[in-house]
Structure 1
Amino acid sequence: MGINDERDIAANLQIGPTDRGFVRIFVSTEDGAEIPMDFDPDEAEEIAEEIRAAAEAARGAGGRKGKPRKR
């Protein structure tokens, strides 16, 4: 499976701090799969930068129709 392969899977995403000083990304699916991923704060910031860069690239690729959201 690649980044451009579409799937018909619903999942919930939660992101927040843990009581041990990590940032947790928690993915759960309707069929009961749960994926907790813990990152130290520096790693979490790197991931956030990658998400921002991907969002900017997606805007440039014309993948989104309509008006951009206001911040």
Structure 2
Amino acid sequence: MGIDTERDIEANLQIGPTDKGMVRLFVEGGGLEIPMDFTPDEAREIAEEIIAAAHRADGGKGKR
């Protein structure tokens, strides 16, 4: 299974700062809870990757 394989799983995603100065992505779904903490710089890199993927997915038609 890869990133392009469809799955019928519902999940919730929460994103926010922690009291330790990290950025937490919290994924909950399928009976699992996955907290992932990143430094602010790592979180910015992830955000840039998400924006780039969205841009590629819509063929460059979206806002920049």
* TM-score, normalisation: structure 1: 0.81
Query: What amino acid does structure 2 have at the position aligned with 1:53?
Result: A
Letter in 1 for 2:23: V
Q: Distance in 2 between matches of 1:47 and 1:7?
A: 23
Query: Aligned equivalents of 1:50 and 1:21: distance in 2?
Result: 21
> Which of the pair is proportionally richer in strand?
2
2:40 maps to 41
Which segments of 5 or more consecutive residues in structure 1 lack a partner in the other structure?
62-67
| TM-score, normalised by the number of residues in structure 2 | 0.90
Coordinate RMSD, CA, aligned = 1.9
Unaligned 5+ segments in structure 2 are: none
Q: Which runs of 4+ in 1 moved over 3 A?
A: none
Q: How high is the sequence identity, in percent, across the aligned residues?
A: 70
